[in-house]
Amino acid sequence: MTEQTKILVIGANGQLGIELTAALQEKHGYEQVITSDIHPPKKQHALFEPLDILDKDRLYALVEKYKVTDIYLLAAILSAKGEQNPMLTWQVNIDGLMHVLELARDAKVSKIFWPSSIAVFGGTTPKQNTPQETVTSPTTMYGISKLSGERLCAYYAQKFGVDVRSLRYPGLIGYKALPGGGTTDFAVEIYHKALEEVAYHCFLKEDTVLPLMYMPDAVRATIELMEVDADEISVRSSYNLSGFSCSPADIAEVIRKTMPDFKIDYRPDFRQKIADSWPNSIDDSKAQEDWNWKPQFDLQAMSAEMLENLKRMKAAKTAVNLS
């Protein structure tokens, strides 16, 4: 990173964007990070510019205006929402990526981060310890767009020397923002319901095991990958990334250790089929080899932090309401 690093985060108001933006501001300076999203921010957390990623002219204008060097393209339609509007999902996830890759090909920016997902895998993929290179047979429009996006990233890197970097995130869990319409949203919602002291009606079956990750690990992985020397990066499609694996029942059991009255029932809906097509666990040895990736949070450590922070936030809100 040089003194002149200027970052544009696209899709900054989402679950990941809110936390990644704060970490980037801390690292590079508040003034160095421009946030953008199709929707206005709930709280003015940074220098904000409205941007629809499908508006290529405005994207180019913002890059020119701020002399942007690095783009974090987080704008996307996630797996569950994507099934309600497959065409829009393809447009946002793929046309949006193409706009940013073309910017880099035109040498307007020097580095791109674009996230992929475990959704690139499907029913015929090996489920346990899913390897970096294996069968990818996605069944959702979201997964199909992420797989296509991975191939586009690899193509632009190989053909045009574009420095694009990517991670296949597992389901992300954080307390600072609500999730945006994915199949792993249950793993965040469950903590909110526990703190509200109401029963959680889980939309997946109790024994559905999925790869998950606590947000601070995801943010750290992203920043670490973006700081590695370009020569060290052997995967230009997207790196497998692993945190821990568990089921809704496993999370409920951990919550009950401190909240014994917590109640959950299981009412699987259309998201069950999506979850069933995804891996149970991920082999991220390539990320370990290339840039020393290692997660810090397991289910217990994450649960403790989620409950503690959500409790603190609830208490602060109550205090404000009483004052």
What amino acid occupies position 138? P
Residue 74 binds ligand NAD (CB under 6 A): yes
Q: Which of 171, 211, 248, 295 binds ligand NAD (CB under 6 A)?
A: 171
17 counts as binding ligand NAD under rule CB under 6 A: yes
Identity of the residue, 13 or 69, whose beta carbon is nearer to ligand NAD in the bound complex: 13
142 an active-site residue? yes
Q: Which is nearer to ligand NAD, 102 or 259 (CB)?
A: 102
Within 10 A of 162 (CB to CB), how many other CB atoms are there?
23
Q: Are 306 and 191 in contact (CB under 8 A)?
A: yes
For strands 210-214 and 244-246, give the pairing: antiparallel
Strand partners, 245: 211
For ligand NAD, which residue of 7, 8, 11, 204 counts as binding (CB under 6 A)? 11
174 binding ligand NAD? (CB under 6 A): no
The answer to whether 115 contacts ligand NAD (rule: CB under 6 A) is yes
Among 22, 54, 98, 259, interactor with ligand NAD by CB under 6 A: 54
By a kind-dependent CB cut-off of 5 to 8 A, residue 79 interacts, out of ligand NAD, ligand SER, none, with ligand SER
| Residue 39, C-beta contacts closer than 8 angstroms, at least 6 positions apart | 13
The interface partner of residue 223, options being ligand NAD, ligand SER, none and the CB cut-off 5 to 8 Å by kind, is: none
- 193-218 burial by CB neighbour count: b if 16+ within 10 A, else e? bbbeeeebebbbeeebbbbbbbbbbb
Question: Contact with ligand NAD (CB under 6 A): which of 21, 24, 25, 37?
Answer: 37
Residue 73, class by beta-carbon neighbours within 10 Å (0-12 exposed, 13-18 middle, 19+ buried)?
A: buried
In the complex with ligand NAD, the residue whose CB is nearer, 157 or 188, is: 188
User: In degrees to the nearest 10, what's the CA dihedral of 288, 79, 274, 213?
Assistant: 30
- Known catalytic residues are 142
Residues near ligand NAD, by CB under 6 A: 10-11, 13-17, 37-39, 51-54, 74-76, 78, 92, 115, 117, 169, 171-172, 179-182, 184
